[in-house]
Each structure stands twice: as C-alpha cells, then as structure tokens.
Homo-oligomer: A and B are copies of this chain.
Amino acid sequence: MQCARAWRPLSPLLSTRIYQTAWNRSQSSPAAGRLNLSGIYPPIATPFTTKEDVDYQKLKENLQKYARIPFKGLVVQGSNGEYPYLTEEERVEVVRMVRQSLPGEKLLMAGSGCESTRATVELTGRMAAAGADAVLVVTPCFYRGKMDSRALIHHFTKVADSSPVPVVLYSVPANTGLELPLDTVLELSHHPNILGLKDSGGDITRIGLIVHKTKTQDFQVLAGSAGFLMAAYCLGAVGGVCALANVLGQELCELERLCLSGSWEEARLLQQRLIEPNAAVTRKLGVPALKQAMEWFGFHGGACRSPLQRLTEAETQQLKQDFTTNGWL
C-alpha cells in the first residue's frame, strides 16, 4: 500500500512533498501561528454494506450533505467512526477518501491513536500523508492501571515529536475507562505540536480549569459531546466534536452562533432541547442509535460492525421518543 511504504517516521527520506501539502493546508502561514480549531465538527460515522464492508459510496453521499452545513471540519475515526473495528488499512483509506471529498477550507482531524506508541507514531504519519490536517490521539488504555502521567506524557510526547501535523489530545473515559489526568494535560500543553484537547468526559469544572491554566499556551479545548457544549463555551472552550452533529449538525452550528454572539437565553433553550437526543445517541444507546437517527434525518447510517448490534425494537422506540419529545421529529 503506497502511503504505508511512503511514510517513514523521523526519517530523512520522508516525502517532503506529501507532508508539505498537509502542512501547508493546516498552517497556510507559519507566521500566523497555530491551526485554529474553533468550531463544530461531526465525528463522522462509518457506513457499512450488508456484508460489513466499508461503504465508501454511502460515506461520500453523507459528506455531500455535510458540505452544506457550516462545520469547521470533520473528525474521521473518532469513537463514533467505529475505528477499533477497522483495520489500519481501512482507517487510512477512509481518511484519504474523506480528504478527496472535503472542500479545501474544511479541517480534517483524523483519529490515529493505537495502544502502543510505535503503532500510534506510524499511523499518525500515515494519516498525515492521507491528508489529515491534524490528528486526534486517544489515551491508550488496556493497561490502564499503568497509564500514569509518566507513561502518558512519554506516549503523547513521542507521538507529537514525530507527527507531521498538529496533535489534539483525546480523553474519552466512557470508552477507555481512563481520564487523561489534569496535570498530564497541562504538561503536554507546552509541547509545540500539541494543539489542544477534545474532552468527552463532561466534567465542566475540569474544562474550565484547563482553559484557565493554559491561558498562556494558546491551548484549544473542544467539548467532546453536545450535552455540555453550551456550558463548555461558557467556560472558554472553542468548539465541539459532537456525535449528534451527524444528525442535527445545523442545529449545533446554530448553538455555536448563539453562544459566540452572547445570545445566552436562546442558546439555553436550544441547548436544553439537545440534551436528551444527545444522550440517546451516545451514553444511553451508542453508535447503533446514532446510525439509526441518521437514517431518520436523511443520512446513511445503517448497521454497525459486529459485535455492535442493531437496536432492539424497544430501544428504537426509546430513541425516537428522545427526539420527538424535544421537537426534532
């Protein structure tokens, strides 16, 4: 596979052209400083065929619809993209395909986290080569009892040192059983190639504190879920990567606009109506619910890869209710 062969971590043979492309797009003017992450991103779902192969055609059709929504960009291979169920080849191929379909001004943030540091370093390089403007690196977690600050600082530093594109830290305790510790985030915020944090834990106190303690580092915090998006803006976050944006993307961009323009009363009413649908497609019923809801709103969702199962009839009804009682269906 071409790009795997092309990429060599920390090697002088590095294809300058390929990286330069990614680098240029993400930092059009080096003098202008860091990549600006502010805005709303859907962590896109991965459609599959009935045989559970990646359905690139349906993915493309989703992307065409997303193009009409004022997203800042897309996250590819976040938790909602079922990345742990894709092979490395598939992970890279999906990123490449999205890059081709995506307007140049939109950011592509690609998930490149693996359990081992060496695999993460390698996949990060491949993601950059495939067109990612930045990578989202999840905390390794299998040996969570040993993933202390020392191990995590080592891991993220190695990855950021070698990455051709900026790194965004990714803390998602619901999936990893591990919250990236505050002191680790603060320490890593000083790394020149670590740009920010996607925090899906939902502790608004923590988000406020991270913004406060990193003021001088231009460290950008993204809310990792729509449920606390307004509160996160309130405390100083610059945007959100929200599963619900796959379904109600326009509405989340509207919530962003209301927050940025100081229309807090309107923002509150909109935010409140988004909490239940958001909980339904994340914490309560997960990716199968997200994909089901996408179908209702005109996107391709479909089934997940096994072992994720389709919703039961009862779950589907519950999901529907969480959208209808809030006036979305």
* Residues of chain A at the chain B interface (Cβ within 8 Å): 52, 79, 84-87, 115-119, 140, 142-147, 150-152, 154-155, 158, 174-177, 202-205, 208-209, 211-212, 227-228, 230-231, 234-236, 262, 264, 268, 271-273, 275-276, 278-279, 283, 285-288, 305-309, 312
Contact = CB atoms under 8 A, between A and B. Distances in A.
Given A52-B118, A116-B85, A202-B203, A143 B308 contact: yes
Given A118-B306, A204-B231, A307-B154, A175 B143 contact: yes
**A79, A115, A143, A177 pick with most chain B CB within 10 angstroms:** A143
Nearest to A311: B146
Contacts of A116: 84-86, 305-307
Contacts of A285: 146
A205 B115 CA distance: 30
A143 B286 contact: yes
B234 A264 contact: yes
B286 A145 contact: yes
29 contacts: A79-B143, A84-B116, A84-B143, A117-B306, A140-B307, A142-B176, A145-B286, A146-B287, A146-B288, A146-B309, A150-B309, A154-B306, A154-B307, A155-B307, A177-B177, A202-B204, A204-B204, A205-B227, A205-B279, A208-B268, A208-B271, A209-B275, A228-B231, A234-B234, A235-B268, A235-B271, A235-B272, A236-B268, A236-B272
